[in-house]
Chain A
Amino acid sequence: MTAARVGIGGPGGSAVGSGKTALIEAMLQELADAGIDTAVITNDLVTDEDAERLRRGGKLPPDRVRAVQAGACPHTVIREDPTLNMAAADRLEADFPGLDLILIESGGDNLASTFSPDLVDFWMFVIDVAGGDDIPRKKGPGILQANLLIINKVDLAPHVGVDFPKMLAEARMVRSGAPVLPTICRKGDGVADVVAHLRREVLFK
């Protein structure tokens, strides 16, 4: 069986992101503990910033983290023309036979960001409470179409005036019951649930 390809997208571009890279960092330990052989592809605008961060974190050997530079709007290389990422994933599979999972992190984009099914088997969209509790109500394609929606930094809700239970209920409503999971990636909270979901829905192990 070829490696599952899982996309991780979400809004970004401001000083603080929604936590996509933090989610990957937190997931890597859980995945390793479960015996899931993993590699990562990061997508940045014109740098290798996220890849370097993951390599410095030391949760994966450096050569299992590959960087793609979009050079343009991040969604162009995960949806319109995902060939750069497909080629990077093919190279990882060739270099590491037996790989179970390739996580493909998009650069921070906007609420309309989605992944091409030509590139990934499953994709997650990561938002955070500090972005505002109206984000789910805006019904962006990323919110509606992702296979899994993650609401991160839920511990910040009282500090940014967000009614988190209401935000969670609205997210579940606009997604017509499709899964939504809360996390605090910085502390690792909820990350085991994300990995368990991936194991059931796409890794099958």
Chain B
Amino acid sequence: MNDHSPSAPLMLQTVLGLASEPEWHDLLHVLDHKGALEYISIPEAGAARKRLRLATDRGRDCAIALPREQALRDGAVLFHDGQLAIVVRIDGAARMRLRPATVSDAMRLGHWCGNLHWKVVFGDGVMDIILDGPSERYLDRLRDLHGLADFEIMGPE
């Protein structure tokens, strides 16, 4: 299936496992010592995609085409043939943490960010926005909400 000719990308069509799993950990460790472990870095904002074309950290041209039911995640092993392994690294995006003052403020803040289709992660009393672009773009939108809701911006991390 895979064509290794210079013009054709290496096709990566399934998640074989996770690098953290014991059976993969040892295999990958051996390949790493041989210089035969390569990584594909994927921005967090693009990790939901099923198809991507990009290069490994050693410049190998790869085309990812996963089945619909599979998902990219940090540590996913996409290729292994005994001589070479390729593992996904999800580059964690910068985040902006928001802390609403009250439950009412939290509801307004959540509604606002939802309307803007921002990707968020909920924490204990806080909400982290996953930034897909300059933080100024997010601060500009939050500026309009001040006065309607009381919240603290704890800054991009």
Q: Which residues of A contact B (CB under 8 A)?
A: 1-2, 4, 79, 114, 117-118, 121-122, 141, 144-145, 200-202, 204
Query: Which chain B residue shows the least CB distance to A80?
Result: B117
Q: A117-B49, A144-B133, A204-B11 are in contact. Are A2 and B117 (CB under 8 A)?
A: no
Chosen A-B contacts, 30 in total, with CB atoms closer than 8 Å, are: A1-B11, A1-B13, A1-B65, A2-B65, A2-B67, A4-B51, A4-B65, A79-B117, A114-B117, A117-B48, A117-B49, A117-B50, A118-B48, A121-B49, A121-B50, A121-B51, A122-B49, A141-B117, A144-B133, A145-B132, A200-B53, A201-B53, A202-B51, A202-B53, A204-B9, A204-B11, A204-B51, A204-B53, A204-B63, A204-B65
Question: In the complex, A121→B51 CA distance in Å?
Answer: 6
Question: In the complex, A144→B13 CA distance in Å?
Answer: 28
Given A79-B117, A204-B53, list of 13 further CB < 8 A pairs? A2-B65, A2-B67, A114-B117, A117-B49, A117-B50, A118-B48, A121-B49, A122-B49, A122-B51, A141-B117, A200-B53, A201-B53, A204-B51
In the complex, what residues of A have CB within 8 A of residue B48's CB?
117-118
Please report which residues of chain B, range 127-155, place their CB below 8 angstroms from some CB of chain A when the two chains form the complex.
132-133
Nearest-neighbour CB distance to chain A for B96, whole angstroms, equals 17
Nearest-neighbour CB distance to chain B for A88, whole angstroms, equals 14
In the complex, what residues of B have CB within 8 A of residue A201's CB?
53
Query: Which chain B residue shows the least CB distance to A114?
Result: B117
Query: Which chain A residue shows the least CB distance to B137?
Result: A139
Nearest-neighbour CB distance to chain A for B55, whole angstroms, equals 13
In the complex, what residues of A have CB within 8 A of residue B9's CB?
204
Query: Which chain A residue shows the least CB distance to B62?
Result: A204
Q: Which residues of B contact A (CB under 8 A)?
A: 9, 11, 13, 48-51, 53, 63, 65, 67-68, 117, 132-133
Nearest-neighbour CB distance to chain A for B146, whole angstroms, equals 22
Nearest-neighbour CB distance to chain A for B48, whole angstroms, equals 4
In the complex, what residues of A have CB within 8 A of residue B51's CB?
4, 121-122, 202, 204
In the complex, what residues of A have CB within 8 A of residue B68's CB?
2
Question: In the complex, A201→B51 CA distance in Å?
Answer: 8
Query: Which chain A residue shows the least CB distance to B1?
Result: A1
In the complex, what residues of B have CB within 8 A of residue A2's CB?
65, 67-68
Question: In the complex, A2→B65 CA distance in Å?
Answer: 8
Nearest-neighbour CB distance to chain A for B45, whole angstroms, equals 9
Nearest-neighbour CB distance to chain A for B42, whole angstroms, equals 12
Q: Across chains A and B, which 5 residue pairs bring their CB atoms closest together, nearest first?
A: A117-B48, A121-B51, A204-B63, A202-B51, A121-B50
Question: In the complex, A118→B66 CA distance in Å?
Answer: 12
Nearest-neighbour CB distance to chain A for B44, whole angstroms, equals 12
In the complex, what residues of A have CB within 8 A of residue B50's CB?
117, 121
Query: Which chain A residue shows the least CB distance to B67?
Result: A2
In the complex, what residues of A have CB within 8 A of residue B117's CB?
79, 114, 141
In the complex, what residues of B have CB within 8 A of residue A204's CB?
9, 11, 51, 53, 63, 65
In the complex, what residues of B have CB within 8 A of residue A121's CB?
49-51
Question: In the complex, A114→B68 CA distance in Å?
Answer: 20
Nearest-neighbour CB distance to chain A for B46, whole angstroms, equals 8
Nearest-neighbour CB distance to chain A for B67, whole angstroms, equals 6
Nearest-neighbour CB distance to chain A for B119, whole angstroms, equals 11
